[in-house]
Every structure is written in structure tokens, then in C-alpha cells.
Homo-oligomer: A and B are copies of this chain.
Amino acid sequence: MPSYTPPLRDMQFVLHEVLNVIEDLNAIPQHADLDADTLNAVLEEGGKFASEVTQPLNLSGDSEGCTLDKTTHEVTTPKGFKEAYAQYVEGGWAALSCDPEYGGQGLPFVANQCFYEMLNGANQAWTMYPGLSHGAYEALHAHGTDEQKKTFLPKLTSGEWTGTMCLTEPHCGTDLGLLRTKAEPVAGAPEGTYKITGNKIFISAGEHDMAPNIVHLVLARLPDAPKGSKGISLFLVPKFLVNADGSLGARNPVFCTGLEHKMGIHGNATAQIALDGAVGTLVGEPNKGLQAMFVMMNAARLGVGNQSLGLTEVAYQNALAYAKERLQMRSLSGPKAKDQPADPIIVHPDVRKMLLTAKAYAEGGRAMSIYCAVMLDKALHHPDEKVRKDSEDVVALLTPIVKAFITDNGFAATNHAMQVFGGHGYIHETGVEQYVRDARINMIYEGTNTVQSLDLLGRKVLANQGATLRKFGKQIEALIAEEGVNEKMAEFINPLAVLADQMTKFTTEIGFKAFANPDEVGGASVDYLRVAGHLVFAYFFARMASVALKKIASGDTDPFYLAKVQTARFYFARLFPETASLMRTARSGVANLLDTDAALA
């Protein structure tokens, strides 16, 4: 049975020693009084909830899965899921970073980020039930009518009701412009009321027994809507209609007609949903549903990165424990555990390489995600408009990197962890193969990682001639200027400086090629995103090493700091060099991919 220890020390290091988030947050009026102790205490309690309440349900939830009663259309979640959710609601966890106006606790988004990392590490499938609600909460908060807000936001904030995102249809996933679900005005009903008909698939947390009502946010077409993505509107379709007094009314014909048999996240109900004239109300403006949905999708993309961050950490922890305890073979340089029949496998360099890869991916991903979350807090609430705009740009730039880089790394990391277990890793009861299966979906949903890479290179970089990238680059330059003379930092700063320099030329070069042939973007984007991911990781590892080295120099003997330096060193020596090959393949041009009609006949 796997176990999970919340990585509180590393979170605190990033939050307070590296990023100094309290200072940043205190500049935002609603977080002016927040202090480190409060934030730490919340995360400590959150970690307890994750490790004690939801983690013990992870393996059993995977074995058991969800079941649908085809007559009642009701779904039963795995044993214990419902009770854990009740505890979650009772503990006020759903409200953590929600708006106090609707009953929220008003903590910054970064608190939720850290809390959700732990929930995901403990049990991704379970966490998707409350996780999806957040997207619905945010879309309604940003685009809902007063009536919608008044009726639904308090319930979503408390967690009493949950939410979903109903986008995908059998014939359209990435390309939502193709969707067919129809919305027709209801004669005699208040304006903005429609009957919605169509079929949705892949609806995570789409039906379950954990809450009395489910708030579906559904994309559909109005009768006179233009074709394509400019004719899509967003609707709120509750499972049960809500009476004027807030009590539950009639069952809305929005039914779960099937559950997918998936590779992983078995504990989450991935529903096929049939809308058969279900009553819904318009959210935001007609035909502008995609824009409203993007509020949810951007948050969801950061959330998906966070899922793999959690899995990376928990897979690492369990593989590390196994590597210390499993005795097998002797070290090549002679026995290390002479009193034992064999050495623990952690003596073998490649076992360490696999463990350190997972550890470095977790720590780099954590730094990037926490940074990004604070930027989001600033983008949403900072009193200075320029700070808001700058922060928003950085979040926009980093979102596809968080989503794709962390989930690709997470799949590699969980697989490395599994490999450390050898044959035992392939067995369900060990728990690590579940992490691999669960992590696999994160590379696909909320926009495949290829889509993320096109978003990064096309929209976030080339569309503004690299302006946002240069904005982030300024921070890197500042670090280089500050630490460039520090000999002890040379092993971290030098490769970072080289890559930062190459990145500018590399980007310009692709930009010129893309100007002549737009397909060049698609030929380079996936490699480009990985290079960008390494640039960001290298920056944060250099910053983290700098803090750690200063602590060590000051006489602090906490082994945490030496550990951080060793992990940073490993990162630069063993993971970062991938950039050399990636730039070469990205530069090879799109012809070797497109002039292949004979090969792909």
C-alpha cells in the first residue's frame, strides 16, 4: 500500500524563502493581513486531510470504480468517496479561495494551488469532483447574471453542490467549433431560458452520489448562431431545477447514459451525458460561450499541471522508500550493506537517476506552479493596473508550460518510479502503476499537450513578437546579473545564461520560418515548449540553489538546503541537457514531417 507525506517543507521553502509570496500578497488589499503562519497552518491542515482522508481511498477507488444504474441514471462512486466529500465540505475546504461575498474564505489562489497539489498526490480521481466545481464557480463568478450568482455561487462555494464542464461531443474535442448541441428559447419563460438538446461525452465528475445537485456548464448553439466557434454559447444546466426559495425542484432531463471504461482515474465518473430538452440559462453573451468557457479552461489547465505535480511527488516518495528497503545485488564499487545478503537498490546509480529525475520534476514543477499561482492572484486583484496586466501576461505565457511540461514530466516520473519497483511495480496492489495510468490522461485532456505547444509558440510568443517572453526574460537577466559573479553559482547560472541567450535567437529563427510557412509552428512547437519549460525550470532551480547556498554559507545546518543544491546540480547535469537535442530537432524544419505522404499512405 502506498503512502503519502505532504511536502510541506518544500512548499514553505518556495513560498517564503524563494518567492516571498506574503510580501507580494500583502500588496493586494484583500490579502493585506495574511501572514506566513496562517498560510502554513492552513496547508498543514490541508495536508492532513489529503493524507488521512482521501489518500487511503485511492487504491480501492481505482479497483472499485464507479457504477451507473441505467434505469435511474444515478452513479455510485467508490466506497468512502461520498463520506470523504462530506468531510471536505464540512471542513470548509471547498470555500478556501472563494469570494467572501458568496461565503468563501477569501484566501489567495496560491493557497488552493498548494492544497490541491496535496489532494492530487493523495487521490487524483477523488479530487476531480471538487476540482471541476472550481471551474464552474469561476465561469459563473466572471460571467453569470446576478440571479445565477445568487442561486448557485453560495452552493458551489460551500461545496454543497458540484459543477462540471460539458464541452466535448463524440465528433469534437479540440475543435469545439464543430459542436452540435442545440439551445432553443422557451416560449413564455423568462429571457435567457432555453431547452438544450444534444449529447456530450468525457464529462468528468459528470454524475455522482456525492452532492444533491450538479451544476453543468454546457456549450451549445442558439438557433440563429453563426457556424463554427463564433456561434457557441454557454448555459447553466442544473441536474435539479432550483425553486425561487432555493430548494430543489424538478429533475432536469440531463442524464448520464454511460460511463467510460478508462485506463485510469477509475474513481472519477467520466460520463456520457444526454440532454433531452434540459432547461438551461444563458451564461454571458450569446455566441460568446467559448470566451466565457476559457475562464474555466485556463484555470483547468493549471489544475491539470497540478494533478501531475501531485502524482510526481507521491510516486517519488514511494519509490524512494522502496529503493531503500529492497535488497538486490551489490554496488558495482563493492558491498555497501555488508551485514545484509545484498545492498539496497538505492546504491545503484541508475536507480538514483530515476529517483532524482522524479524529485527534480516535482520540485521544479512546484516552484513554477506556485509562482504562477501568485501571479494569478496579482493578475486578479492587484490594485496597480500595470501589475495586473504584467502578471496576467506571465500567467498566459506559463499556463501551457505548466500544463504540458509538468504532465509530460509527470508521466516520465511516475514511470521511473514504477521502474524502480521492478516487477512489483507492475502489480496493482503496489500502487505505483495506478499513478502511471492516472497521470496518462493529464497529457490529453483540457487541450492535448500538442495543443498547448501551439498555444505557447503561436499565441503566447510569436503573436506578440516575443514581448511576453522578454518580460519573463528580464527576471532571468536580473538573476544572472545578481549571481553571475558568484563562483559557487556558476554551475547553475552558466547553463541558464547560455540557454536564455539561445532562446532569443531560437525564437526569432522559428518566427521568420513561420512567417514564410505557418506549418513551421506545428513542426517546432512541441520541442519548443520543452525547451521553454527547461528555461523556466533552470531559472527556478538557480534561484532555489542560490537561496540554499546562502543558507549554508550562513551556517544553517538544515540538510534540506544541501539536498536542494544536490537536486539542482542533478537537474542541470542530467535533465537540462535535453535542450541541446530539442533545439536541433525543432530546427530541422517541417518538411521532414510533411513530405511524408508515401510513408504515411
Residues of A within 8 A of B (CB): 168, 171-175, 177-178, 202, 260-264, 320, 323, 327-329, 331-333, 341-342, 346, 348-353, 355-356, 359, 411, 415, 418-419, 422-423, 425-429, 433, 436-437, 440-441, 443-445, 448-450, 453-454, 458, 517-519, 521-523, 525-526, 559, 562-564, 566-567, 569-570, 573-574, 577-582, 584-585, 588-590, 592-596, 598-601
Query: Do B350 and A453 touch across chains, with their CB atoms under 8 A apart?
Result: yes
* With contact pairs A350-B450, A563-B601, A590-B349 given, residues A596 and B577 touching in the complex (Cβ less than 8 Å): no
Query: Do B592 and A569 touch across chains, with their CB atoms under 8 A apart?
Result: yes
Query: Do A433 and B263 touch across chains, with their CB atoms under 8 A apart?
Result: yes
Q: Which B residues are CB-close (under 8 A) to A419? A: 443-444, 448-450
CA distance A411 to B436 in the complex (A): 12
Query: Do A522 and B348 touch across chains, with their CB atoms under 8 A apart?
Result: yes
Question: In the complex this chain forms, how many copies of it are found?
Answer: 2
Closest to A341 in B: B178
Query: Do B585 and A350 touch across chains, with their CB atoms under 8 A apart?
Result: no
Among all A-B residue pairs, the 10 with the closest Cβ atoms: A349-B522, A566-B599, A261-B428, A581-B581, A563-B598, A562-B598, A263-B433, A573-B592, A349-B523, A332-B518
Closest to A561 in B: B598
A256 CB to closest chain B CB, in angstroms? 16
Name 24 interchain pairs, CB-CB below 8 A, sorted by A: A173-B422, A261-B427, A262-B433, A320-B600, A323-B600, A332-B454, A332-B519, A332-B521, A348-B522, A350-B523, A350-B526, A352-B596, A356-B593, A356-B600, A419-B448, A422-B444, A436-B440, A566-B596, A567-B596, A570-B596, A574-B585, A574-B592, A574-B593, A578-B581
Q: Which B residues are CB-close (under 8 A) to A436? A: 263, 440
Query: Do A328 and B563 touch across chains, with their CB atoms under 8 A apart?
Result: no
A467 CB to closest chain B CB, in angstroms? 21
Q: Which B residues are CB-close (under 8 A) to A333? A: 517-519
A463 CB to closest chain B CB, in angstroms? 13
Q: Which B residues are CB-close (under 8 A) to A570? A: 592-593, 596, 599
Query: Do B592 and A581 touch across chains, with their CB atoms under 8 A apart?
Result: no
CA distance A522 to B594 in the complex (A): 40
Query: Do A262 and B588 touch across chains, with their CB atoms under 8 A apart?
Result: no
A291 CB to closest chain B CB, in angstroms? 18
CA distance A580 to B599 in the complex (A): 26
Q: Which B residues are CB-close (under 8 A) to A526? A: 350, 353
Query: Do B263 and A437 touch across chains, with their CB atoms under 8 A apart?
Result: yes
A18 CB to closest chain B CB, in angstroms? 17
Query: Do A352 and B450 touch across chains, with their CB atoms under 8 A apart?
Result: no
A584 CB to closest chain B CB, in angstroms? 4
CA distance A578 to B599 in the complex (A): 22
* With contact pairs A581-B580, A600-B356 given, residues A174 and B422 touching in the complex (Cβ less than 8 Å): yes
Q: Which B residues are CB-close (under 8 A) to A346? A: 600
CA distance A261 to B355 in the complex (A): 25
Closest to A324 in B: B600
CA distance A88 to B368 in the complex (A): 56
Closest to A265 in B: B426
Query: Do B453 and A426 touch across chains, with their CB atoms under 8 A apart?
Result: no
* With contact pairs A329-B174, A573-B588, A592-B569 given, residues A423 and B445 touching in the complex (Cβ less than 8 Å): yes
